[in-house]
């Protein structure tokens, strides 16, 4: 039985902790804040409650597997999962709108054809066929296996883009999300739909490789789920599973550095000078250069780490929490995405370190009594992808108020009469994200993607310091709730099975 110190109580870290404890290891989690869950926070005030991080769960199989492998009670006995249908409604700048069913390929194609015309559904369906091919080609090495020493196999884009013939010029294939939208989807509304998926994960459609097609493919194939009581209920269930497996938690315990002894990780030193010895250390937070003084944990000879993984240039989230008078209509859609007329201007602003005049706004209206004081009120969350704190000063109260108004104006296309119904408004920016998670600038890590020469991969779970492993969204296979859970499984498998571990079967 080994002593294992886990730094951070985010979802990837707790997923690793629970699995390691079941394998017989003595696990202690050190968390700088006073609670667990990382980005899965909850804001409650005036009888209203809101998720402050992800609002929906995709690929629930990741957490079903965690609960199966760590105890007798399955996930659905610990939380109530509600399938969201329609999965999303999209409102475009020209006034057209379409509701996409949950996990129904045929239904999505039919809905797009009916709403947008011109064979839009058929084009989207053909795109999803190519995305499925990319999924089949890259799923195991990208998501289910530790990052291999020959990670360069993921440097090639698995998306089988259509060849675009041009008069008197060489044929080309789409290499980015934006090029897929322009060349393969053609309809600007379909392009906006695809761009919205990328932006939702903090990716720049102009730079993100075509393999980002996996993101809408995963959502539209495996469905979207809401956890009753909010996503915080999922964090609580994982925390309680850790406690049931005898994982110990130390809250308010900030780790200053990883202790090294005889060339390997040997414990952690806390900010107060306390040293806790361990046989292995799992880092479930954003890696810091000073965490292991004098050690280079990885370099580009091991794995290319995209620039945003370090915080600079990464995207954050601007969130407006609205307490509304008036009940939620029975026909309200859980998730609506309002697309702006000029997506290019939004991209240039967000990834150029400015605020977008007209952002893509996601509106969440959960049908959950726990979010409101009574049936005569409603809790609504608005979210936009924004530049992190630093390039934009998100402590500026006037800016925060103006940008909240911008989101409320846009969300009126999803919630008629929204502004007149507002009782209370709470605003969260990358500044609050940084305070909650410790991420530089409030950056939110995106999922790892194949292609682009490996520039959208994340640091491997193994580091160059023996005994130190990485879990969570800042490591392979990247950000997102499902991906964080996968990283926990990969770290636990590496510890339990050793260097021969090759991922889940």
Provide mean pLDDT across the span 225-247: 97
Say which DSSP state 310 is in: G
Provide mean pLDDT across the span 59-78: 96
- Decide: pTM greater than 0.85: yes
Q: Which pLDDT score, from 0 to 100, does residue 152 have?
A: 84
Q: Which pLDDT score, from 0 to 100, does residue 424 have?
A: 98
Provide mean pLDDT across the span 417-440: 95
Q: Which pLDDT score, from 0 to 100, does residue 300 have?
A: 42
Nearest to 385 by CA among 318, 475, 285, 310: 318
Which of 64-73, 166-175, 219-228 is the least confident region?
Answer: 166-175
Percentage of the chain beyond pLDDT 70 is 94
Q: Which pLDDT score, from 0 to 100, does residue 501 have?
A: 82
Q: Give the pLDDT confidence of 334-389 residue by residue, as tens digits.
A: 999 999 999 999 999 999 999 999 999 999 999 999 999 999 999 999 999 999 99
Q: Give Dmax (Cα) for the chain.
A: 70
Is the pLDDT assigned to residue 215 strictly greater than 70?
A: yes
Is the pLDDT assigned to residue 257 strictly greater than 60?
A: yes
The band of 314, judged by pLDDT with boundaries at 50, 70 and 90, is confident
Indicate the average pLDDT of the chain.
93
Query: In whole angstroms, how large is the CA radius of gyration of the chain?
Result: 22
Q: How far apart are CA 315 and CA 191, in angstroms?
A: 20
Residue with tokens 């800016």: 399
Q: How far apart are CA 30 and CA 283, in angstroms?
A: 10
Is the pLDDT assigned to residue 313 strictly greater than 50?
A: no
Contacts of 369 (CB under 8 A, 6+ apart): 375
On whether the CB atoms of residues 198 and 177 are closer than 8 A, the answer is: yes
Assign residue 390 a region: left if phi > 0, alpha if psi is -120 to 50, beta otherwise? left
Q: How far apart are CA 115 and CA 71, in angstroms?
A: 46
- What letters, b where the CB count within 10 A reaches 16 and e where it falls short, cover 5-44? bbbbbbbbbbbbbbbbbbbebbbbbbbbbebbbbbbbbbe
On whether the CB atoms of residues 84 and 99 are closer than 8 A, the answer is: no
């Amino acid at each position: 039985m080994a002593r294992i110190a886990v730094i951070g109580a985010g979802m990837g870290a707790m997923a690793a902790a629970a699995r390691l404890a079941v394998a017989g290891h003595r696990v202690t989690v050190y968390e700088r804040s006073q609670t667990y869950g990382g980005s899965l926070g909850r804001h409650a005030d005036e009888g209203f409650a809101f998720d402050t991080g992800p609002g929906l769960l995709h690929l629930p199989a990741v957490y079903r597997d965690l609960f199966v492998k760590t105890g007798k009670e399955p996930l659905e006995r610990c939380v109530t999962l509600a399938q969201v249908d329609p999965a999303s409604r999209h409102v475009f700048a020209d006034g057209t709108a379409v509701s996409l069913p949950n996990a129904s390929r045929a239904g999505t194609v039919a809905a797009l054809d009916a709403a947008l015309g011109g064979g839009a559904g058929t084009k989207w369906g053909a795109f999803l066929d190519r995305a499925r091919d990319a999924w089949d080609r890259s799923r195991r090495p990208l998501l289910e296996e530790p990052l291999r020493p020959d990670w360069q196999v993921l440097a090639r884009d698995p998306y089988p883009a259509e060849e675009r013939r041009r008069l008197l010029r060489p044929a080309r294939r789409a290499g980015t999300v934006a090029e897929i939208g322009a060349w393969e989807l053609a309809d600007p509304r379909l392009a906006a739909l695809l761009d919205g998926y990328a932006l939702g994960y903090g990716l720049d459609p102009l730079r993100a490789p075509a393999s980002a097609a996996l993101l809408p493919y995963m959502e539209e194939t495996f469905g979207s789920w809401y956890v009753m009581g909010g996503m915080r209920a999922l964090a609580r269930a994982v925390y309680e599973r850790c406690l049931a497996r005898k994982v110990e938690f130390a809250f308010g315990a900030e780790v200053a550095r990883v202790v090294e002894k005889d060339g390997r990780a040997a414990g952690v030193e806390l900010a107060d000078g306390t040293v806790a010895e361990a046989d292995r250390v799992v880092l479930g937070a954003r890696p810091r250069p000073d965490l292991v003084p004098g050690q280079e944990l990885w370099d580009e000879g091991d794995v290319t780490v995209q620039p945003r993984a370090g915080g600079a240039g990464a995207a954050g989230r601007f969130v407006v929490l609205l307490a509304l008078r008036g009940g939620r209509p029975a026909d309200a859609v859980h998730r609506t995405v309002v697309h702006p007329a000029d997506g290019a201007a939004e991209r240039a602003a967000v990834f150029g370190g400015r605020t977008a005049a007209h952002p893509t706004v996601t509106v969440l209206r959960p049908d959950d009594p726990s979010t409101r004081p009574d049936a005569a009120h409603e809790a609504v969350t608005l979210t936009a992808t924004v530049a992190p704190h630093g390039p934009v000063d998100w402590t500026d109260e006037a800016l925060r108020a103006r940008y909240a108004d911008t989101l409320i104006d846009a969300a009126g296309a999803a919630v008629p009469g929204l502004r007149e119904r507002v009782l209370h408004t709470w605003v969260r920016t990358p500044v609050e994200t940084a305070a909650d998670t410790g991420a530089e600038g409030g950056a939110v890590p995106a999922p790892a993607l194949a292609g682009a020469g490996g520039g959208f991969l994340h640091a491997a779970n193994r580091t160059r310091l023996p005994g130190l492993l990485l879990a969570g969204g800042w490591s392979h296979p990247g950000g997102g709730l499902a991906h964080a859970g996968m990283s926990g499984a990969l770290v636990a498998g590496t510890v339990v099975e050793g260097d021969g571990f090759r991922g889940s079967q």
